Structure 1
Amino acid sequence: MESHQLSCFYIALILACGGLLLSSSLAETVQFPALNCRKHTAYLTDFGGKGDGKTLNTAAFQSAIANLSKYASDGGAQLIVPPGKWLTGPFNLTSHFTLYIHKDAVTLGTQDISEYTIIPPLPSYGQGRDAPGPRMISLVFGTNLTDVVITGGNGTIDGQGEVWWEKFRKKELTYTRPYLIEIMYSKQIQISNLTLLNSPSWVVHPVYSSDIVIQDLTILAPIDSENTDGIDPDSCSNVRIWDNYIVSGDDCIAVKSGWDEYGIAVGMPTKHLSIKRLTCISPFSATIALGSEMSGGIQDVRAEDLKALNTESGVRIKTAPGRGGFVKDIYVRNAEYHTMKYVFWVSGEYNSHPDKGFDPTALPNITGINYSKINAKNVTIAGKLIGLEKDPFTGICISDATIEMRADDDDNKPKPAWNCTDISGVASSVTPKPCGQLVESQKPVVCEFPTDKLPIENVELTTCSAVIS
């Protein structure tokens, strides 16, 4: 080879290597915690996805997940949603699968209502929550799955729910609104490290499922948006909900298990639930609600290290005649509240029913409710504890609670701090002085909180990775 040809060869080689190095330097390796890592990786762009915020990517998501499902028995697969704005209709997940949304990626739910398939109502509800009959499928949906991870580097899923809120207000909806994420009849589920915005209705809804990790979510919706509950574990067991920040138009967390005669018939309780380090803002609803759809029962809920600002209530129990079921073995400790209407709110007056077929003699069993180490400021009412005349709520314990009452705006005097009927329990070191039905102990009492750990609390996530170019 002549010298000038050799020189050209080496120059071309150097440029090519430099190009490879440049391409490699532009690639980003991300690491994230997950229940399981995957052997195979694909990108939404591999299946025709376009992140321009205008192109509908439903077919790309569906095609990608269908193709990656083939690897379920070979180490599983992960689908990477790279930077961009990815408009899409609903899509179904698969088992042994990770959906990873990059920190600079926004998955946008289409506002074209015709894109949302109509599916049957939940068996434990008998009908949709917004309207009789069926309901719209959720944006991110899965059923009968094992080992599913929905995560990201704080990537975003935006449900663009304004069109549904407006139609709901105008009573123009034929079917119940979609949720943002719903997983049914599944196990080993993780939903984490995401920003979830503007859901048409409930945001995260695992139902009839077990072994669930929900953590490090930022969930945001306008405070006047209807029924935008943050996280709703529903007839689920062994669930942990840790380190979440929620601004909502409804309850930040709502624990459920079915509605009246339908929930009683299914009989699938939510139990063994750990909630830790929750921050909530919800001026018209609860930090944590138990019910009102609790007809399958709620048992063994452990909530601690709660913070709520400008939120209607702390941990609220909602039920009514016709619900049946039970709420028992509830433990709450270490709560900091600022600007709140009700700190303790337990009520048997939540009379909404799916239809006229409910049994008014099906009364709920509410017992074993424990609150300790509660500090609240700028409060209107310390406690509203209203049981049922033929079904008193028992075993309520409140200890080490300091509540600073707000002065009445009209006469600068505090309103009555407590309103209690048809309840019984004990109180210790509670200010202001509790109602007479809560007997003040002569000796200091610390309300119960379990010392053991739930199995889901011991689950450790592993560090996984993906390359994004």
Structure 2
Amino acid sequence: MKYLLLKSGLALLLCFLTTNSIAQKTDAFNESNIYEGIEFSMPKVKTTNFLDYEVSISDFGAVKGGVIKNTDAFTKAINFVASKGGGKVIVPRGIWLTGPITLKSNINLHLEEGSLIVFSKDFDDYKIIKTSYEGLNAYRCISPINANGVENVGITGNGIIDGGGDAWRPINRNQITSAHWEKLVSQGGVLSEDGKTWLPSEKAKKGFEKKINYTTTTTINDSELNSIKDFLRPVMVSIVNSKRVLLDGPTFQNSPAWNLHPLMCEDVIIRNCKIRNTYYSQNGDGLDLESCNNALVYNNTFDVGDDAICIKSGKDKDGRDRGIPTKNVIVKNNVVYRGHGGFVIGSEMSGGINNVHVSNCTFIGTDIGLRFKSTRGRGGIVENIYISNIDMIQIAADAISFNMYYFSKRPAFYDSGTYETNNQEEPLVAITEETPSFRNIFMKNIMVCESGIAAFFMGLPEMNLKNVSLENSVFQTKKGITTIDSEGLALSNVKIIASDDYALTLYNTKKVKTNDLMFNESKSAIRILGSKSVDIQFNKRDFPNANDILISKKVEKNSVKIK
């Protein structure tokens, strides 16, 4: 018999005690133990190795103070050290204003304690290039820090890098307070035609109102591109097609779009960094690891305006044509505060994602904790994802979310919660190369307190979410677990303390097995809905009272077994 008759205070105590039972994760990881407990075989990530040679940007005419641009000094220092075979380019204490910085092979851009690199807010400093933006081949302004085709490159030290993103980003009126909005408008910029969005300039507004992505297939000449240049905001740190990349120590903040974006890179290490953006920063992701192979992400802190730690591999046809999955990734001992998602896969995953280990992370006040998202049109396969020892508190929405209708219309009854009572049939869609697939995802030791929804698993009717397991976990939330269009769900030793809803709702879900499932005795337990719900097995010890399980008339009686 597995009941939890818990009042809120006792529920919180249980959550706290269970969380602390795995709290060894407070110890920082390092190169000697980062590979412990990994469920798949992968080569050790190759590390950077820089020559014992260094110069200061001051030696090349850099002037601190934040008034004089030091673009030439950075360029000269990097070129000089590169000509000597590599080494450190030192950024001393002080405020250093600059335009874009292009890194070269064997360069370690090292920020000393108290140093602050501030990127220019003069858009003329940033030329338009062909690059990748949000998974598509696109025109964008060059990134403040950029590198392409380099090897053995690093950004290290305890300084701060500010991307000047507040000069680039649009701001929606509903994202900030009335007082903030009035101050923003009074300081300049322009408003969109509907008056709901602030933009930095008329050029930015022109690009915004066209509502297109400005991909490289867009028919547009140089003059037209320049007329909307201010709209083409870049990611802050763009490292493309490179090997042995190290980001270790700095604070990265105030990015025009995404903050850190390694793209098509091998052997990437991101550790001991602080990644920050304002809570209202449009597309203000923390880290977007895209089409990368062999990566370590550990001992970092994120507080951002969009998703925090993101794994991606390109979008739609561009991503499928690129055909480079992200694989062999270890994510350990990171803390996420604000963010749309703590750890995220998608939605740009068209090249595939596999062999990802995530453990010993803490999410505090994040909108969604573990977030998986895609939509029809993406294609790609996400598989072999292993997640463990995750603590979450005050998650606004879903602690765990699988959404295969991201930014697309999903059946109305999914949103209303009425499910089958609307008598609507799910659309039948053919499976093609554009159909995304998520499968073989394993989660354990997930501890959630004071949060909104325990979990929401939603696949597609034509491509169910497959083989997801959840074990040894506690959810102290307002609502329980819902699964839709899923197959092969396994729940073992899962405690669902849902104050306002069913502990578990299954809709058109197949091949479900539970063992040691615990829930509030005073609340409704389980409901099974949808004519496609079949092969569902519960442990008899968990349900001595048959009334704990509500089975819809649309579900065949022999589809649910208690034994």
| Structure-1-length-normalised TM-score | 0.79
Partners of 2:354 and 2:385 within 8 A in 1: yes
Counterpart of 1:66? 79
Query: Following TM superposition, where does structure 1 have runs of at least 4 consecutive aligned residues deviating by more than 2 angstroms?
Result: 121-128, 166-176, 433-444
How far apart are the structure 2 equivalents of 1:360 and 1:261?
A: 16
Structure 2 letter corresponding to 1:157: I
Structure 2 distance, partners of 1:186, 1:401, is: 39
SS of corresponding position for 2:367? strand
CA shift for structure 1 position 65: 1.1
Structure 1 residue 439, shift from structure 2 partner:
2.5
Query: Which runs of no fewer than 5 residues in structure 1 stay unpaired?
Result: 1-32, 129-133, 354-358, 407-414, 445-469
Pick aligned residue for 2:154 from 133, 149, 153 = 149
Q: What's 2:119 paired with? A: 109
Alignment of 1:23-422 (within 5 A): 35-72=48-85, 76-122=86-132, 125-128=135-138, 134-152=139-157, 154-166=158-170, 169-170=198-199, 172=205, 173=207, 174=228, 175-283=231-339, 285-340=340-395, 341-351=397-407, 361=432, 362-406=434-478, 415=479, 417-422=480-485
Do the aligned residues in 1 keep the contact of 2:336 with 2:364 (CA within 8 Å)? yes
Tell me the secondary structure at the aligned position of residue 311 of structure 1: coil
Letter in 1 for 2:514: S
What is residue 491 of structure 2 aligned with on the other side? 427
C-alpha displacement of 1:149: 1.3
**Residue identity matched to 1:426:** A
Deviations 1:268-297 (A, max 9, x none): 0000000001100125x1001101000000
- Greater fraction of residues in strand: 1
Task: Give SS of 1:422's match.
Answer: strand
- Aligned residue for 1:251, secondary structure, equals coil
Please give the alpha-carbon distance, in whole angstroms, between the structure 2 residues aligned to 1:50 and 1:367: 54
Tell me if structure 2 keeps the 8 A contact 1:375–1:402. Answer: yes
Q: How many angstroms does 1:78 deviate by? A: 1.2
Offset from partner CA, 1:310-352 (integer Å, 9 cap, x none): 1111111110111000110011000110011101100110137
Q: For residues 63 and 377 of structure 2, what CA distance do their matches in structure 1 show?
A: 50
Residue in 2 aligned with 1:17? none
8 Å contact 2:449–2:477 — kept in the other structure? yes
Distance in 1, Cα, partners of 2:408 & 2:103: 33
2:540 is equivalent to residue 441 of structure 1: no
Letter aligned with residue 118 of structure 1: I
The one-letter amino acid paired with 1:322 is: G
The code of the aligned residue for 2:483 comes to C
Q: What amino acid maps onto 2:284 in structure 1?
A: T
Is residue 38–residue 97 contact of structure 1 (8 Å, CA) maintained in 2?
Answer: no
> What amino acid does structure 1 have at the position aligned with 2:50?
C
Residue by residue, what CA displacement relative to the aligned partner does 1:345-371 show, whole Å, maximum 9, x if unpaired? 001101379xxxxx9941012100111
SS of the aligned residue for 1:55 comes to coil
Contact 1:210-1:238 within 8 A present in 2 as well: yes
Counterpart Cα distance in 2 of 1:199 and 1:222: 10
TM-score w.r.t. length of structure 2:
0.66
Matched residue type, 2:75: Q
CA distance in 1, matches of 2:113, 2:290: 29
Shift of 1:98: 0.8
Aligned length: 388
Gaps of 5+ in 2: 1-30, 32-46, 172-196, 208-227, 410-429, 497-502, 518-563
- Cα RMSD between the aligned structures? 2.1
| Contact kept in structure 1, 2:241 and 2:263, CA below 8 Å | yes
Q: Is the 8 A contact 1:427 1:434 kept in 2?
A: no
Q: Is the 8 A contact 1:38 1:98 kept in 2?
A: no
